[in-house]
Amino acid sequence: MIQYLSACLNEEVSSRQQSHLQTYTRQAKFPALKTLEEFDFTAIPALPKAKILGLAEGKFIQGRENVVCMGASGTGKTGIKSIEWTPQNGEYISSNILTLDLLSLL
């Protein structure tokens, strides 16, 4: 009986975590999510893989720093934004906003 209740509670916790992730993703206006392992660094050779992997450690979050992705079309900005950062870095809420949209808020 205890094992059954434990399994039910674990399933409920997992379901709520997934629901929160979906809500945060929708609110952040991210494109479809990928994991860091799914990201194809060979598609954009100029993208600094070491720097991106460093960001995945989440030190910028703990330091309350922002990350701004800038560059010409096809340089990997959207791909980097679509990486599912939350599971690697704990429960943090992030946001995705285009420069023009940000400027319109000022």
- Does the predicted TM-score (pTM) go above 0.75? no
What pLDDT score was predicted for residue 28? 67
Domain boundaries, the chain: 2-105
The DSSP annotation for 29-98 comes to T--S-B-TTT--GGGSTTS-HHHHHHHHTTHHHHTT-------STTSSHHHHHTB--HHHH-S-------
**pLDDT of the residue at 89:** 46
d(CA 56, CA 103): 27
Enumerate residue ranges in the chain where pLDDT < 50: 87-89
Angle at 90 between CA 53 and CA 48, to 5 degrees: 10
